[in-house]
Structure 1
Amino acid sequence: MTSVQRAMPVAAPPGVKVDFNSVPAPANYVPGLGRGATGFTTRSDIGPARMAPGMPSEGGEQAGPAPPSQAQLAQAQRNKEENEDTTLDDSKFDEFMGNDAGALANTGEYDQDDKDADDVWAQIDSHMDNRRRERRESRLKDEIEKYRIENPKITEQFADIKRKLAEISNDEWEGIPDIGDYSMKNKNKRPQFYSPAPDSLLATAAARNEKDTSIGISSSLDGLKTPAGGLETPGGATTNLTEIGKGRRTVIGLNLDRMADSVNGQTVVDPKGYLTDLKSMKLSSDAEIGDIKRARTLLKSVTNTNPKHAPGWVAAARLEELAGKLAEARQLLQRGCELCPTSEDIWLESARLQSPENGRAILARGVAAIPTSVKLWLQASRLEADDRSKSRVLRKALEKIPTSVRLWKAAVELVNEDDARIMLNRAVECCPQHTELWLALARLESYENSKKVLNRARQAIPTEPAIWITAAKLEEAQGNAHRVVKLIENAIKSLANNSVVIDRDSWLKEAEGAERSQPPLVATCHAIVAAVIGLGIEDMDRKRTWVADAEEMQKRGSIETARAILAHARDTFKTKKGLWRRSAQLEKAHGTHESLDALLRDAVKYCPQAEVLWLMAAKEQWLGGHVDVAREILSAAFAANPDSEGIWLAAFKLEFENREPERARALLARARDNPAASTPRVWMKSAVVERELGDHAAERRLLLEAMTRFPDFDKLHLMLGQLEERQNNLEAARQAFQSGRARCMHSIALWRAAATLEWKANSGSRARALLEQARLKNAANEHLWLAAVRTEQQLGGAGSKGADALMARALQECPTSGLLWAEAVAMAPRPQRRNKSVDALKRCNDDPHIIAAVAQLFWNDRKVDKARSWFNRSVTLAADLGDFWAQYYKFEVQHGTPEQQQAVVARCVAAEPHHGERWQRISKNPVNAHMPVMDILDLVVRDLDRPAPV
C-alpha cells in the first residue's frame, strides 16, 4: 500500500455522512502531496526525529498517517449535526436575542423576568444619561468656545476691520490705488523697446481703411465705373450718404413735431427726450398683454350686457388708458356719457382724459344733465384759467345748490374780504346749521358785529361748544379777560341744559389751542381748565389724575395748561406739599423769578412744616443775589421748624458759601447745643468749617468728640483719617481708618480710603490684602472690585494678566455692573473693544457708564457725530455725574464749535453735578472750596489725562 492510500480515510459506515472538514488531519499530512505537489518542509514542521512522508521505515515499509477510527467518524458526525441544529433550526430561535445568542446562549434560560430587569436597567441608564446630558453639553460648549477663542478664524480676526468697510464712501473706494505687479515672473525678462511707426506706414493704412460716403454715377454709355466708385448717370450727379442721413434726421424731426398733441401748450411727445423716453418705457410681457386682452373681453361683455352701468364704462376706459390707447378710452367714455348721463363719475373721468377746453365742454354737458352735482361744479371751476372765471362758475353753482357748504367755502376763498363778508352773510342764511360759516363770518366782522353774529349762531346751533369758546377768545382779545370765566361757566350750563355731553379731553385740547394761538389767550385757557378739569373724576382719584394731566401737558409743551391744572389742584388741596413742589419746579423751568418767589411764599404759608419748600425759597433768593432775603426766609423757617436739621444746615451753607465762616461757625455751635438739632451731619459740617479756617486742632477735637457721640457714622472716621493723612501722620491715619472699619464694616469709602493710603505709602501688597478683605465683608460690591482691578493694574502695569483675571471674576460676581463693564471696555485691547462694548450693552443697555464708554470708542475712531450723540445721552441719563460732563466738554473742545462748548458748560452749570470719582476728588479738595462749577469742570478736564483713582 502506498503512502497516498494510507493517508485516505477508511470508508464510513453506510448511511452516515462524513464531514471531512471537521475531521482532524492525520499525522504527518502534507496537503497536495498525493497529486505530486512539491512543497518544502522545514525542521519545525517535522521535528528533530520525524521521518518525511514516503521515507522507508526501519522495517522496510513506508510510514503513513493512521486512518481515523469508527469512533472518530461518529463523533465528527455528531458535532456536525449539533452545529446544524444550533445554527439552522428555527424552533430553537431565541425570541429576545435571536440567532446571535452568543457563547452562553445555551447555558441558561432567558425569560420575561430577565427581560424586565434589562429594561429597568436600560431606563436607569437612559435617565442617568439625560441627567448628565446638560452638564456634558455645557462642558462641550465651553470647550468649543475656548477652542474658538484660542484658535480664532481668519474672518473673526479681521471682523473689526471688515466692519469699517461699511463706512467707506464710493469715492474712497474708487481712490484705493492698484497694488501693481510685484511677482517675480517678469523680473528676469529683458525690457521691451517700442519704436514709433513711420508716417508713411500710417498714411497707407489710413488710405486702405478709408470709406467713401458718396456714389458717383457717370453719364457715359459704356457703363464704366468712375474713380469715385459710382455709376455714371445721364446727369453726371453724385449721391452723398452723409446728406441722406441728415435728411432722414430732418424727416424724423418733422414726424415728431406732427406727433406732438398740443394740449394747452403742452406736448404729449417731447422731441428732445424722445430717445430717453423710449429707453425708459416698460415693455409689457406676454402675460401682461394676455391679461389686458382678457380684461378687455370681460369689460366689453359687461358694457354690452348692461350699457347703463357707468362703472363698467369707467373701468373699460381706464384699462385702455393703462394699455396706452388714449383715443379708445376717450371714445368709450363718450359712449358711456351718452348712455349714463346721470353718473357723476363718468363725466369726471371723461373730463380728466381731455384737454382743458374739451374738459370744460364735457363738464358743461354734465352739469346740464346733473345740475345738483357739487363735484361737477367744483371740477368745472378748477378747469377755469383765472379766479374771475372760477368765481363765476361757482356763483352759477350756488344758484342751483344754495345749501352746499363746499361751494360756499370755495366761492368765499376766491373773493376779497368785503365780498367774502357779503357772501358769508348769505351763506349762514342758506346753511344755518354749519358752524364753520358762522365762525368765519365772526372773524371778518368787527367786535360789535362779531358778538351779534355769535349770538345768532348760538341761537341757531345751541349745542355747539366752539361758538362759546370763540366768544371767550374774542372777549380776551379785546382785553375783557374778566368776562372770560363767566362766559365759560355759562357755556357749560347752557350745553348741559341742551343735553350735550361735556367731553373733558376735548375741552382740554381747546385750552391747549387757546394757549398756542397768537397771541396766547391765557385767560381762556385757565377758564376752560377750571371749568372742566374736575368732570367725571372720583374724589379719591382727583389729585393723582390732575398730576398725571399736568405731566402730560408739560411733555407736550403746553405749559400754561399744565400751570392751570396745578393751580386748580393747589386750590383744592392747599396743604399738599407735593403739589406746591411740582408747581415750583414748573415755575423754575418755565416761569420767571418773580412768579417763582410768589409761588414759594404761598407754599410756605400753607405748608409751614415742609422743610423743602423753605429751602427752595431761600435758595432761589440766594441764587438771585438776595442774600438778606434768604436769611429772612431761613429765620422764618427756624421759627416754624426750630428742630429741623435741614434748615440749620441750609443756614450754615448760606453763610459758608458767601465766605462768612465765623457766622457759619456760630450757627453750627447753636445747632450742636440744641439737643434736637445735634446730629452727626451738624458735627461733620462743624469740622468742615474748622478745616476751612485751618484750625486742625479744633477740627481733630470736634471729630473725636463727635465719634464718641456717633461712633457708627463712617464719615467722621473718614474725615479724621484724611486729617491725619494731610498732616503726614500715616500711622495715625491708618489707625483711624482701622477703627472706622471696625465700627462701620460696610462703609465702602473707608475700605477704599485705607487701600489708597497703603498704596500711597508704597505698600501695594497691603492695599491688595485690604481690598480682598473688604470684598469678603461686602460681597458683590462693584466699587471694591473696581478698586481691586485698578490696584492690580498699577502693580502689574498695563495689560496685566492678574488685572484681567480679576476683572473676569468681578464680572461673574457683578454681571450687570455698568461701572465694571465700562472699565472692562477700557482695559480690552483696541481690536477687541468694539466686541466688548457690544457685550456690555447687552448686559446693561441704559447704564450711563456704558454709554460714556461707547462714546469714548467713537471719539477714538473719529466718528464725531456718533460720539456727540452718545455723550449727550450719557449726561442726560446721569446729569449728577460730573465725570461725564468733563468728558463731553473735552470732546467738544477738540471737535466742537464755541457755541457747542458753551452749551455744554451751561448745561453742566444748570445740572450742578456732585458725584463722580474725579469730580468728587477735585471738588472736595479744601484747596478748591467755594469754586464755581465752571472752574471745577476745567480742573476735571485736565485730570482726565491722569490715571483713574483707586
Structure 2
Amino acid sequence: MASRRDFLSQPAPENYVAGLGRGATGFTTRSDLGPAREGPSEDQIKAAVAKRSAQLGLSESKDDDNNNDDDARYQDPDNEFGLFAGGLYEKDDEEADRIWQEVDERMARRRQKQREAREKAEIEEYERQNPKIQQQFAGLKRALETVTDEEWANLPDVKDLTGRTKRARQARMERFYAVPDSVIAAANSTGQFGTTVADDEAGTATAADSGSNKDGTVTDFAKIGAARDKVLQARLERASHTSGTATAGSATSIDPKGYLTSLQNMQGAEQSIGDIEQFRKMLKSAVDSNPKQAASWIAAARLEIAAGKPVAARNLIAKGCQHCPKSEDIWLENIHLNDNRNAKVIAAQAIQANTHSVKLWVEAMKLENDPRSKKKVIRRALDHNPESEALWKEAVNLEEDVEDARMLLAKATELIPESLDLWLALARLETPANARKVLNKAVKKLPNSHELWIAAARLEEQLGEGNKRPVMKNAVKFLAKQNAMPKREEWIAEAEKCEEEEAVITCSNIIEETLGWGLDEDDDRKEIWMEDAKASINRGKITTARAIYAYALRVFVNSKSLYLAAVDLERNHGTKDDLWRALEKAVEACPHVETFWLMLAKEKAGEINEARRVLARAFKQNPDNEDIWLAAVKLEADNDYVDQARDLLKTARQNAPTDRVWMRSVAFERQLGNTEAGLDLVQDALQLFPAAPKLWMMKGQIYEDLGKQPQAKEAYSTGVRAVPSSVPLWLLYSRLEERSGNAVKARSILDRARQAVPKNPELWTELIRVERRAGNMNQAKSLMASALQQMPKSGLLWTERILNLEPRTQRKSLLAEAIKKVEDDPILLVTAARILWAERKLDRAQNWFEKALLLDRDMGDTWAWYYKFLLQHGTEEKRGELVSKCILNDPRHGEHWQAIAKDPKNANKKTEEILKLVAASLN
C-alpha cells in the first residue's frame, strides 16, 4: 500500500479527455503525437544572428554606394524603373497590347462550347450528388397535391412540447382571461362626467365628479359638445339652402362639404408641419454653414414649394443665386420657379454670370415664344460658345429653310470637325454629289468612325449603285489599317439597324464583308454563324439572317445543315419563289442529297411537268435511289396517272430492288383494288426479302380482304417465325384469332410474343385487353399489376388501367400517381386531358392537350382527340388553326391514326381528311 500512488499522481487512462463530461471536446498537442524534431541549438542561433547582421551591414553600405537604390528582388513590377524609366508608350506598344488582347480573346473563344458544356455537366453532376433541401423535399411537396380539404382541416394543431422552459413560462405570462362585465363598465365610465345625483346616507346630494356645481347639479360636457355640433350642422344646412336661391354674385353661399373637406386638409397639413419645420431647420443650418453650396439652396426652395409657400421659395432661390452665381443648377431652378416674364430677366442675369453655359442659353431660348426670338438667342449663344454641338443642333432644328440649315451645318462642321452627328446631318441635306464630298471630308476628320462608311454605303444604295461600288469592302480595309475595326457583333447590330430603315443592300454588304472578322478556321465558324442567324430571326431581322446564311454557304459550299436552315428560313418567312431559288441552290451544291430533290419536287407538285423535270434531274444524279423512285410514283399516282405510276414501279423493281419498292408496289395494287395482283407481288417479294415484316403483314391483310382466314393465319404464323421481333405482326396475328372467336389461341400467341419481345408495353396492353374483352377482369388486373412492375413508366399501360380497369372514382388519384412515375408521355397527358374534359374543366383540359402536342407533334391520336374536343368546346378559328398546324407537322404515328391512315381506302386522302376521320372514330 505504501508503494501505490495516490489518485492525483496516477497516470490518466487511455483516450482520456479532460472535461469531457461537461461537454469539452479536447485538443491535441505535439507531445500527444510524439517527440518532434529538436530545434536549433544555442550556438546555431548565435551564428545565424551574426551572419544576418553582417549581411545587413553589407546591404546598407551597398545602398549608400548605389544612391540608395532598392534591390531588384523587392521592386514593384507595376512601378518599375531603371532600363525603361524614360520610355514612352507609343503607337507600336498600343498595337502590340491590342494584338495580345485579341489573341487572348480568341484563345478564350476556342472550344468555348465544349468548355461550357463540360462545366455545365460538372455543375449538374455536383447538384445531383449534393441536392438542395428544396430538391430533397420536392417529392413530398408533390405528395401534398393528393391531400383533400377534409384531411387538411383534420390535421392536429401543433402543441408546445418544450416543457417547463423559459418559453413556456413566457407563454403563461402572456395568457389572457375573460374580464368581468363590471370591470369593463367601470373602465368605460372612466374619464366621463356623470349625469345623475346620488343620495348619501345623510340624505344630501353628492356630485359624481369634478363637474358638479355648488347646488348639487352636474354639468355633462359631452352632451354640450354634441349639442354644439348639432347647432353648427343646422346652420350649415340652412346656409346651403340659402345658397341654392342666392344670386351668382352673392357672397353668402357656402359649400358645407367643401368647407369640411378643406378643414380636413388643413388638419392633415398641420400634422406634417412638424416634419416641415424640422427639415427647414436642417436646411437653414446647411445654408448658413456653407452658403456657397447650391444644392442646399435648391433643397430649401423645393421644401417651401412642398409646404405651399412659393414666394418664400423664390426669395430663397434668389439669395442662393447671389451666393452661387456660377452654378447652372441654381439658376435653372430659379427660372423654373418664376413665371415667364420674370424668368426671362433671371435668365439674362444667369447668362451674364455664366456666358459659356449651354444649358442656360438653351433654357433662355425656350422662354421665347416666336421663332425669330429663339433664333436670335441661339445665335448670340453661338457667339459665346462657337464649339458647342448642342447649340448648333438647336440652331439647325429652328431653321425651316433647307438651304439655311445646310449653311449652318457647314459652318458647324468647320468649327466642330469631330462631331459625327453634324457631319451625318450635313450629308443628308446635301445633294448626292456633294454628300459624297462631305462624307470624304468627314472620314479624314474622323478616321475611326465606321458610321460614316455605313452612311456612304447607304448613299450609294439610294443612288442605285449599292452593288457596284465596294464601299463596305473599302471600309473594312481602311478601319483595319486604323485599328478601329468594331467587333463582329457590332457589325451585325448595324446591319439589323439598316434593315429596319429598309437599306437592304447595305445590310447584306455589311454582313458579307464583316461576318468572318475575328474568326479563324480553328473556331466553330459554322455553328457560330448559324447561332447568329437564329438570333436575328428571333429578333425579326429576316434580311440579316438571309445574308448570314448566304455568306456561310459561300464558305461551306456543301453543308447540308446550312442549306436546310436556309430553306427553312425561306419556307417560314419568304415567298414561294425565294423557296424555289433556295432549293435550286441546294440541289446544285448537294446533288447526291435526295432530301433537297424531294423537297423541290414536293414544292412544285402543283405543276406536274415542273415536278417531273425535277425528278428527272434527280434520277440523273441518283439513278438507284429508292426515295426518288417512290416520289415519282407518288407524283403520278396523286395526279391519277395510274399506268405511268405502275410502269415506274416496275422499272424501280428492276433498277432499285429494295423491300420498300416492293412494298410500295403491293400497296399501290391494293389501293386500286387489284388484290390478286398484289398477292402475286407480295409472294415474289417474300422470296427476295423474307425478313421484311411489313411484307408478311401485307400478305396476311390481303388474305383477310379476300376472306381467306386460314391462309391469313398461316401467313401471320410464318411471319412471326421468320421475324419474331416484329410487334405489329404479333398483334395482327393475335387480333385475327380473337376475331375468329378463339381467345385462348390469341392469349397463347401473345404469351409467345412476350417471350420473343420482353418488356413491350403494346404486347402487355393487348394481352390485358384480350382478358378484359373476354370478361376476365381479375386476370386483367393481375396482368396489369405484373406489367406495371416491369414497366412502371409506360403511359400506355397507365392509360389502360385508369380508363378501363379501375372505377371512375379512383381515376384522379391514379392519374396523379401515374404522372409522378411517368415523365413526359403524350398518351398519359391526353388521358389527363380526357378526364378533365369529362369533369367539365375545359380550360385545364385544353392546356393538357396543348402540352401533349408540344411533347410529341408526330402522335396523330393527340391531334385527333384535341380536334374532337374543339368540335364541342372550341371556336371555328381555333379549329382552323389546329388543322393548319396538323397539316404542317404531318403526324404519322398513333394507334388510331395508323389504323385509318394506312387503310387502302384512305390512301389518297389528305392530312385534314385523315384527322377528321380519326376524330370521328374516337369514343
Q: Structure 2-normalised TM-score?
A: 0.67
Q: Which residue of 2 aligns with 1:925?
A: 903
Higher deviation after alignment, 313-322 or 550-559: 313-322
| Larger RCO, structure (CA 8 Å, separation 6 or more) | 2
Are 2:716 and 1:737 aligned?
Answer: yes
Query: For residue 743 of structure 1, what is the amino acid of its counterpart?
Result: A
Residue 638 of structure 1 and its aligned partner are, at CA, apart by 2.6
Query: For residue 913 of structure 1, what is the amino acid of its counterpart?
Result: P
Cα distance, 1:322–1:494 mapped onto 2, change above 3 Å: same
Q: Which residue of 2 aligns with 1:535?
A: 517
Q: Which residue of 2 aligns with 1:461?
A: 446
Query: For residue 915 of structure 1, what is the amino acid of its counterpart?
Result: H
Correspondent of 1:678 among 652, 657, 663: 657
Question: Structure 2: where are the runs of 5+ without partners?
Answer: 1-13, 15-138, 156-233
Higher deviation after alignment, 806-815 or 270-279: 270-279
Q: Which residue of 2 aligns with 1:605?
A: 588
Deviation readout 1:152-173 (Å, 9 max, x if unpaired): 66256999xxxxxxxxxxxxxx
Give distance in 2, aligned partners of 1:878 and 1:513.
38
Query: For residue 728 of structure 2, what is the amino acid of its counterpart?
Result: A
Deviation readout 1:256-309 (Å, 9 max, x if unpaired): 9999xxxxxxxxxx99978678879995898x8776555444433322211111
Are 2:907 and 1:908 aligned?
Answer: no
Deviation readout 1:835-885 (Å, 9 max, x if unpaired): 666666666676544555555566556676666666555445533333333
Give distance in 2, aligned partners of 1:873 and 1:665.
43
Alignment of 1:518-667 (within 5 A): 520-540=502-522, 541-622=524-605, 625-667=606-648
Residue 610 of structure 1 and its aligned partner are, at CA, apart by 1.9
Give distance in 2, aligned partners of 1:365 and 1:825.
88
Structure 1 SS opposite 2:468: helix
Alignment of 1:465-480 (within 5 A): 465-480=450-465
Give distance in 2, aligned partners of 1:942 and 1:549.
46
Query: For residue 730 of structure 1, what is the amino acid of its counterpart?
Result: Q
Higher deviation after alignment, 377-386 or 446-455: 377-386
Give yes or no for contact 2:240–2:256 (8 Å, CA) kept in 1.
no
Residue 469 of structure 1 and its aligned partner are, at CA, apart by 1.0
Q: Which residue of 2 aligns with 1:309?
A: 293
Alignment of 1:830-849 (within 5 A): 847-849=825-827
Structure 2 SS opposite 1:433: coil
Cα distance, 1:147–1:912 mapped onto 2, change above 3 Å: closer
Structure 2 SS opposite 1:721: helix
Alignment of 1:110-259 (within 5 A): 154=150, 243-244=238-239
Correspondent of 1:397 among 381, 397, 403: 381
Structure 2 SS opposite 1:879: coil
Structure 2 SS opposite 1:535: coil
Are 2:835 and 1:883 aligned?
Answer: no
Give distance in 2, aligned partners of 1:856 and 1:412.
69
Residue 806 of structure 1 and its aligned partner are, at CA, apart by 6.1
Give distance in 1, aligned partners of 2:731 and 2:269.
79
Query: For residue 447 of structure 1, what is the amino acid of its counterpart?
Result: P
Number of aligned positions between the proteins: 703
Give yes or no for contact 1:313–1:332 (8 Å, CA) kept in 2.
yes
Give yes or no for contact 2:597–2:614 (8 Å, CA) kept in 1.
yes
Deviation readout 1:470-511 (Å, 9 max, x if unpaired): 121122122223334x11111111222222123211111222
Structure 1 SS opposite 2:612: helix
Give yes or no for contact 1:257–1:271 (8 Å, CA) kept in 2.
no
Q: Which residue of 1 aligns with 2:408?
A: 423
Cα distance, 1:395–1:660 mapped onto 2, change above 3 Å: same
Q: Which residue of 1 aligns with 2:418?
A: 433
Deviation readout 1:682-706 (Å, 9 max, x if unpaired): 2211211221232323323332333
Cα distance, 1:294–1:280 mapped onto 2, change above 3 Å: closer
Give distance in 2, aligned partners of 1:752 and 1:912.
25
Give distance in 1, aligned partners of 2:384 and 2:258.
47
Structure 2 SS opposite 1:483: coil
TM-align CA RMSD: 4.4
Q: Which residue of 1 aligns with 2:28?
A: none
Residue 893 of structure 1 and its aligned partner are, at CA, apart by 4.0
Cα distance, 1:282–1:583 mapped onto 2, change above 3 Å: farther
Alignment of 1:293-308 (within 5 A): 294-308=278-292
Q: Provide the identity percentage.
A: 42
Higher deviation after alignment, 307-316 or 277-286: 277-286
Deviation readout 1:427-481 (Å, 9 max, x if unpaired): 3333221212222232233333332332232232222111111121122122223
Deviation readout 1:385-422 (Å, 9 max, x if unpaired): 56665555444433332322233334434443525444
Give distance in 1, aligned partners of 2:543 and 2:560.
21
Alignment of 1:764-913 (within 5 A): 764=743, 767=746, 770-771=749-750, 774-775=753-754, 777-788=756-767, 794=773, 813-819=790-796, 847-849=825-827, 852-853=830-831, 856=834, 871-872=849-850, 874-913=852-891
Cα distance, 1:907–1:345 mapped onto 2, change above 3 Å: same
Give distance in 1, aligned partners of 2:451 and 2:567.
33
Q: Structure 1-normalised TM-score?
A: 0.65
Are 2:312 and 1:333 aligned?
Answer: no
Query: For residue 524 of structure 1, what is the amino acid of its counterpart?
Result: T
Give distance in 1, aligned partners of 2:778 and 2:855.
33
Are 2:333 and 1:349 aligned?
Answer: yes
Query: For residue 749 of structure 1, what is the amino acid of its counterpart?
Result: P
Are 2:698 and 1:719 aligned?
Answer: yes
Deviation readout 1:808-852 (Å, 9 max, x if unpaired): 665554454455566677668777766666666666676544555
Give yes or no for contact 2:769–2:780 (8 Å, CA) kept in 1.
yes
Query: For residue 942 of structure 1, what is the amino acid of its counterpart?
Result: A
Residue 531 of structure 1 and its aligned partner are, at CA, apart by 0.5
Give yes or no for contact 1:721–1:732 (8 Å, CA) kept in 2.
yes
Residue 930 of structure 1 and its aligned partner are, at CA, apart by 0.8
Give distance in 2, aligned partners of 1:526 and 1:559.
11
Alignment of 1:691-710 (within 5 A): 691-710=670-689
Cα distance, 1:501–1:281 mapped onto 2, change above 3 Å: farther
Residue 560 of structure 1 and its aligned partner are, at CA, apart by 2.0
Give distance in 2, aligned partners of 1:703 and 1:663.
21
Give yes or no for contact 1:789–1:803 (8 Å, CA) kept in 2.
yes
Q: Which residue of 1 aligns with 2:482?
A: 498
Residue 339 of structure 1 and its aligned partner are, at CA, apart by 1.4
Give yes or no for contact 1:600–1:613 (8 Å, CA) kept in 2.
yes
Deviation readout 1:302-337 (Å, 9 max, x if unpaired): 222111112222333444555555554444333222
Cα distance, 1:834–1:443 mapped onto 2, change above 3 Å: farther
Give distance in 2, aligned partners of 1:731 and 1:157.
65
Q: Which residue of 1 aligns with 2:473?
A: 489
Q: Which residue of 2 aligns with 1:509?
A: 493
Give distance in 2, aligned partners of 1:147 and 1:401.
74
Deviation readout 1:350-391 (Å, 9 max, x if unpaired): 344444554444444333322322233334444555666555
Query: For residue 644 of structure 1, what is the amino acid of its counterpart?
Result: N
Residue 532 of structure 1 and its aligned partner are, at CA, apart by 0.8
Give distance in 1, aligned partners of 2:267 and 2:371.
40
Structure 2 SS opposite 1:350: helix
Which protein has the larger Cα radius of gyration, Structure 1 or Structure 2? Answer: 1
Structure 2 SS opposite 1:539: coil
Give yes or no for contact 2:243–2:253 (8 Å, CA) kept in 1.
no
Query: For residue 723 of structure 1, what is the amino acid of its counterpart?
Result: I
Cα distance, 1:599–1:393 mapped onto 2, change above 3 Å: same
Query: For residue 889 of structure 2, what is the amino acid of its counterpart?
Result: A
